[in-house]
Amino acid sequence: MNKETVTITVLVENTVSRQALKTEHGLSFLIQTEDGNLLWDTGQTDLLINNAQRLGISLSSTTHKALSHGHYDHTGGLLEVLKMAPHAYVYGHPDLFVQRFIKKRNEVYSVEPVSSPMGKDIVKGRCESLILSPEPAEILPGIFTTGEIPRETDFEDTGGDFFLDIACTKRDPIIDDQALYIESSQGIVVILGCAHSGVVNTIDYVSELTRQGKIFAVLGGMHLPRASKERLEATAAAFVRYDVQIIGPCHCTGLKAITYLRSQFPNHLVECSTGSYFTFEGKQ
């Protein structure tokens, strides 16, 4: 990547920072570079298209799409976006299309539309190429997916009641969960989806992949609404260990966790809501 500006815009998140935009329980980031544009996740519906238009952004130029995992709030807008950019390359883990279920308040919900037996064929038929791999992949110069993230910590879990069967007897480990990282001149920028692998597992793995002892920024969903005090403390300790300068928790992180992180990092926590944007210098 040349030393050019990398712009990251939050197209969809649970909250909103601009009056003209709309919000939903979902997540989508647009990453714009001189080498091309990448869409990281697509929210729950086609809302990202409306928000992009209001921001003066054309999603037809997003020739690369990458999905953090197969849950509906990260993949729901994919098929509509592919209508606008049918020649796109779509990246994900091989388990992206596994059918799965979520249990909430004793009700069981199927996670659609991508995580279904037909999802893979539908997506494959609407894009230029569907690239599924558990390994890290360079999508654009200096921008990588982590691939499958090793689960090494003993205090992190997937963060909820996720299952692979409608009877809810087989836990879903969500092994398709992955993150994105960007090599910038300021340091490594990590973009999370939901961090079902654990935030600490994720940044540990990014550090291993990049051979960097510091991480400049961590943005995205951290899935900590059920986190214990010990887990929150361990997560904060990891941010200190990697000298993280910009922390943007959002989406599934949970109010309690965000409040805690703000108390620990008052000078480093940033708003990461619908309409927020960040700029970094590309690595020389």
pLDDT in tens, 146-190: 999 999 999 999 998 999 998 999 999 999 999 999 999 999 999
Closest CA to 82 of 117, 19, 124, 115: 124
Which of 25-39, 57-71, 72-86, 98-112 is predicted least confidently? 98-112
For the chain, what is the domain count? Answer: 1
Measured CA to CA, the distance from residue 26 to residue 33 in angstroms comes to 23
The three-class DSSP label of residue 277 is: strand
How long a stretch of residues is the chain?
284
DSSP 8-state symbol, 20: T
Q: Is the pLDDT of residue 3 over 60?
A: no
Q: Which range of residues forms the domain containing residue 33?
A: 5-281
| 103-147: pLDDT as tens digits | 887 778 776 656 566 788 889 999 999 999 999 999 999 999 999
Measured CA to CA, the distance from residue 39 to residue 282 in angstroms comes to 17
pTM: 0.95
The three-class DSSP label of residue 147 is: coil
Grade residue 17 by pLDDT with cuts at 50, 70 and 90.
confident
Closest CA to 175 of 123, 134, 230: 134
Angle, nearest 10°, between helix axes 229-241 and 199-210?
20
Measured CA to CA, the distance from residue 282 to residue 262 in angstroms comes to 28
Phi-psi region of 62 (alpha: psi -120 to 50; beta: other; left: phi over 0): beta
Bridge partners of 190? Answer: 181, 218
Q: For the domain that residue 265 is a member of, what is the CATH number?
A: 3.60.15.10
> 223: burial class by Cβ within 10 Å (0-12, 13-18, 19+)?
buried
